[in-house]
Amino acid sequence: MPRIERQAAVVWEGNVARGSGSLTALSTGAFAELPFSLPSRLAVTQGKTSPEELLAAAHGGCLSMSLAGELTRAGFPPERLDVTVNIVMDEVPDQGHLVVGSEVDVTARVPGIDDADFAAAVEAADAGCSFSALIRASASVTVRAHLEAS
C-alpha cells in the first residue's frame, strides 16, 4: 500500500485571545496564508477559517469520494453529489471546547438507482469513510441522504 503524506504549515503570533495565525497548504499549494484567530473561531467568522471549518471540508471531501466509490461499485455511478457538512463544537463542563458532532447532508442525482440500493450505498460509504470513523470515536456523526429526481 502506498503511504501518502500531506503537510500544512501555520505561523502564529501573540497570545491566544488577541494573536492571529496564518495557514498554508505546503504539500499542494492549494491554499496559502489563510488567516485565523480565536474570536473568529468561536464567534462571528469575519471571513476567517478555523480548525473546525477545515474538519468540515475534510469530512465532506472524504464522504463524497467514499459515496462515489460505493455507488459505482453497485453499478450506479453518480451524476452529481451535493454534500454539506456541519461541524459542531461546544463547551463541555470540565472538558472545555470539544467537537461534539459532524452532521452530513447529501443530495444525490444517481440515474437508475432505487431507494434501497441508495440507502445501502450511503451506509457503506459512511462505514468506509475513514474520517467518519475517526470522528465517531469521540463525537456523533449523522448522515442524512436523499435522492433527487434525475
Site for other proteins in 79-138 (CB under 8 A): 79-91, 96-99, 130-131, 133-135, 137-138
Q: What is the pattern of x (binds other proteins, CB under 8 A) and - over residues 18-47?
A: -x-x-x-xxxxxxx--xxx-x-xxxx-xxx
> Strand 96-109 and strand 140-147: pairing?
parallel
Question: Does the protein bind other proteins through residue 58 (CB under 8 A)?
Answer: yes
- In angstroms, the CA 10 to CA 31 distance is 12
Question: Does the protein bind other proteins through residue 146 (CB under 8 A)?
Answer: no
Q: Which is nearer to other proteins, 109 or 119 (CB)?
A: 109
Q: Specify the residue for cell string 488567516.
A: 35
DSSP class of residue 79 equals S
- In angstroms, the CA 137 to CA 102 distance is 12
CB of 114 to other proteins, least distance (A): 19
- Going by C-beta distance under 8 Å and a sequence separation of 6 or more, which residues neighbour residue 73? none
- In angstroms, the CA 144 to CA 106 distance is 6
Q: Which is nearer to other proteins, 51 or 114 (CB)?
A: 51
Question: Does the protein bind other proteins through residue 62 (CB under 8 A)?
Answer: yes
CB of 82 to other proteins, least distance (A): 6
